[in-house]
Structure 1
Amino acid sequence: MTELKSGPTLAVCMIVRNEERVLERCLDGLDGIYDELCIVDTGSTDKTVEIAKRYTDKVQVFHECNDELGNIIDFSAARNRALEMTQADWVLQIDADEVIRQGKELIRTHITREDTDRIAMIIRNGCADNDVLSGRLFRRSNAQGYKSAIHEYLEFDGRAELDNRLMIENLPNKEGKETGSERNIRLCLNQLEEKPKDSRTWYYLGSEYLIKHDFAQAAECFKNAKLHDNYKQGKYHVRYYLAVSLFHCHDWPGAVDAANEAVDIDDRYAESYCLLGDVFFTLEILDKAKLAYEQAMNCSPPSDALLGTKPWAYQEHPENQLKKIADLCDA
C-alpha cells in the first residue's frame, strides 16, 4: 500500500474487468505516487477484484454500465463512478493494461502547481505512429464528468498544458476476452443508433475499420463524419483519414480532394502533404509529388495534436521519396 504524501492529494481512478493477467503490473508501477486508489470493476469473473483488494479498500463492483448480457455499453458511466469515489485534489486516470512508461517522478510535482489544472501526456499504443495526447492528470474540482459511451472524454473547465516527458503505454492482454476492436465497433454502432449524426463516433468507427484494413467501410464512416462535421477537434483528422482510406481504395481524385481539404483546415501537419505526394508519385506525376514532399519537409509536429501525429511523415518518408524522385529524374 502506498504511503500517504503531504500537500495536495492524488487519487488514481481505474475501471477494470477480467484483468488478472495485467493488474498487478499496473498497480506495482504506480507505487509511491498516489494517496488513494479507486477501482471500479464492471463484472470480472476472474481474480481481478481479489487482486485489487490487496492494494486498496476502495473497490466497487458496478454493473449499471452493462447490458442485459453483461457486456459493457457505457464506459463513461463506469469512469464517473470511479471519479465519484474520491475527494482527492487531483486524479490520474489509467487502465489496468497500461503502465507509466516514463515521467512517473514528475507527477507529484505537477499536482503542486497553481498555474495549471490539467496535464496532457503521451499515450502510446504499440508504436510512436499510434501516439495520442490525453489529459489523464487533472484537478478534480474542475472535472465535469465523462461523456460518450465509447471513446469517452472528460468535460473539463480549466487551464491545460502538455508534458511530453510523461508517457503511459498500453500493453493489452486480450486472451479469452472480446478484442478491443470488436468491442469498439459494437459500441460505436450502438451509439450511432441513438446519435446517427455524431461525427466523433463516425470518426472512431472509421478508425477501427482502418485498423482492420476494411478501407471501403472506413471511407464511408469518414464521409459520414465529414458530412455532419460536428467533431471540432477531429476536423483535420476526419479528412486526412478519409484521404488515406480513399488512397487504399485507389480513388485518386477523392484522396487528393480530401487531403487538400485537410491542408486547408490545418497546414501544419506533414501527413496530408505526404498523402498528396504518395498519390502523385503513384500516378507518376513527379513534379506535383516533389512539391508535396517538399511541403511536408517544412512541417513540424503540432504541439497541440491531440489525435496524434505520424513520426515518419516528418522528414523520414518525404526525404526518402524525394531521393527516389531524384533518382528517377537522373535515370
Structure 2
Amino acid sequence: MNSAAISLCMNVRDEEEVLERCLSSIAHIVDEIIIVDSGSTDRTKEIAKKYTDKIYDFEWKGDFSEARNFSFSKATKEYIMWLDADDVVPEKSQKQILEFKKNLATYKMDVVVMEYQYSYNAEGNPILTQYRNNIVRRACNFKWKGLVHAKLDYSDTEEFITNIVIHHKKNKLHTDRTLKTYESLIEQGKNLSVEDLFYYANECISHKQYKEAKEWYQKYLNENTSNDECNIYAYGQLADCHTYFNELDQAILCCLHTFKINSPRAEICCKLAYIYYLKKEIEQTISWFKIATATDFPTKSTFIKPHYYTWFPHIQLCTCYLSQGNYNEAKKHNDIAATYIPNNSYVKGNETLLEELKIKIEQRNAEK
C-alpha cells in the first residue's frame, strides 16, 4: 500500500536552541521540508540546511498569517504538516504517523487533528492540552487568518481526530511581545478579528491585566457566535477575572453559562468548587469537586487541562474532608489521587495529615 506524501512547513526565527530537536524527530517521516526564515541572526538556517535545501527568506511584516501562508505556498506534496520549532514528535507518535500516512492515501482526509500538549507539571505530566489541525490536504487550499495568533481556516470541513501526540517544549521565556503587538495594533486603530479578540484577552490575563481581560473576553463573547469550545474557555477565563475582583456571583454565572453550550467540563466544575470555597460554602465545594470526578474526559476540546479529569479534584476532596475530620472519605480520595500521581508532594502531604487525624480519632475513641 502506498503512503501519502507529506510536506513539513515551518516558520522560524532565531531557533538554534530547539530546531534540530524538532527536525530530528520528524525528518525521517515527511517527504519534503520547507523552512521559512523571517530574519534569524543565529545558527537557525545552518541547522536547517542539515535537513533540507528548501529554505526561504521572508521579510517579516508583523503578520503571522502572511508568513504561514507563504510557507504553505512552497509545499508540493499531497499533504502539508506544520510544526513550530519548539515542538517535538515523541517516538510513539513517529510510529503512528508513519502508519497513518497509509490511511491518508486511502481515505483522502482533509484535516487531521492531533493532541498538542504544551504545558507540564514538575513530574512532566501534561496540564494543558489542545487539539490542533497539524496535517491538511494541500488541494483544499486552506488559508491562515489572524495577524498575531494565526489560525488555519477550514470551516465546514470534517476533521479526523487522532490520538497522535505532539509535545510543545518551549525554551524561551514568556515575554510581553505578543501583548505589545496587540496594543500597537489597537493604537493604530485596526479592528481585531474575532479570533484576535480571544487571543488578546488571553494575553491580558496571562500578564495579570484582569480588568482589561474582562473587557476583551466580553467583547469576544459578544461577537463570537460559532466557536463553542473557545466560548467555554473564554467564559471560564472571564470567571477567573471576576473571582480575582471578588465578584463571586458573576463568576458563578459565567461558569454556569458554559453548561448551556455543552456538557459540563471538569475545569469549570473545579472553578465552581473554588468559588464556593471562597464563599465558605463547604458542601457546595464538595459537590462540585465530586461532579468533576464524574465528568468524562472530552473527546475533543480546544483547551483541556487533564489533571482536572484525574487527580486534582480528588486531592481537593481529600482536603475538604480533612477539614471536616472525615478520615474515611479523605483517605478514599487521596488514595484515588495516588493512582495517578503516587509520588506527588500533595499526596504525601495528605498521607501525613491523614495519619495525624487517624491518631486523634483513635485517642478520642479511647477516652470514651
What's the Cα RMSD here?
A: 2.3
Superposition map of 1:300-315 within 5 A: 300-305=296-301, 307-315=302-310
Q: Is the 8 A contact 1:263 1:272 kept in 2?
A: no
- Show the counterpart of 2:203: 208
- Show the counterpart of 2:270: 274
Long gaps (5+) in structure 1: 67-72
TM-score, length of structure 2 as denominator length: 0.78
- Show the counterpart of 1:110: 100
2:182 to 165, 184, 188: 188
- Show the counterpart of 2:358: none
Which letter maps to 1:206? A
Identify, as 1 or 2, the structure richer in helix: 2
In 2, distance between residues paired with 1:327 and 1:186? 45
In 2, distance between residues paired with 1:7 and 1:228? 42
1:99 to 88, 100, 104: 88
Residue by residue over 1:160-183, the C-alpha shift from the partner in whole angstroms, topping out at 9 and shown as x without a partner, is: 22222x222222333xxxx65423
In 2, distance between residues paired with 1:264 and 1:231? 14
Which letter maps to 2:78? D
Which letter maps to 1:122? E
Which letter maps to 2:291? Q
- Shift, 1:315, TM fit: 4.2
Residues 7 and 320 of structure 1: CA distance in aligned 2, closer, same or farther (over 3 Å): closer
- Shift, 1:31, TM fit: 2.8
- Show the counterpart of 2:321: 326
Long gaps (5+) in structure 2: 121-125, 327-368
Residues 267 and 190 of structure 1: CA distance in aligned 2, closer, same or farther (over 3 Å): farther
Number of equivalenced pairs: 313
| Structure showing greater Rg | 2
Superposition map of 1:123-272 within 5 A: 123-127=116-120, 128-156=126-154, 158-164=157-163, 166-174=164-172, 180-192=174-186, 193-196=189-192, 198-230=193-225, 232-233=227-228, 234-272=230-268
In 2, distance between residues paired with 1:199 and 1:285? 37
Q: Is the 8 A contact 1:191 1:201 kept in 2?
A: no
% identical aligned pairs: 24
Residue by residue over 1:274-324, the C-alpha shift from the partner in whole angstroms, topping out at 9 and shown as x without a partner, is: 11111111211123223322222221121110x221222224333233333
Specify the SS of the correspondent of 1:278. helix
Which letter maps to 1:282? L
Residues 58 and 261 of structure 1: CA distance in aligned 2, closer, same or farther (over 3 Å): same
In 1, distance between residues paired with 2:182 and 2:35? 25
In 2, distance between residues paired with 1:270 and 1:25? 34
- Shift, 1:231, TM fit: 5.7
- Show the counterpart of 1:70: none
Residues 188 and 123 of structure 1: CA distance in aligned 2, closer, same or farther (over 3 Å): farther
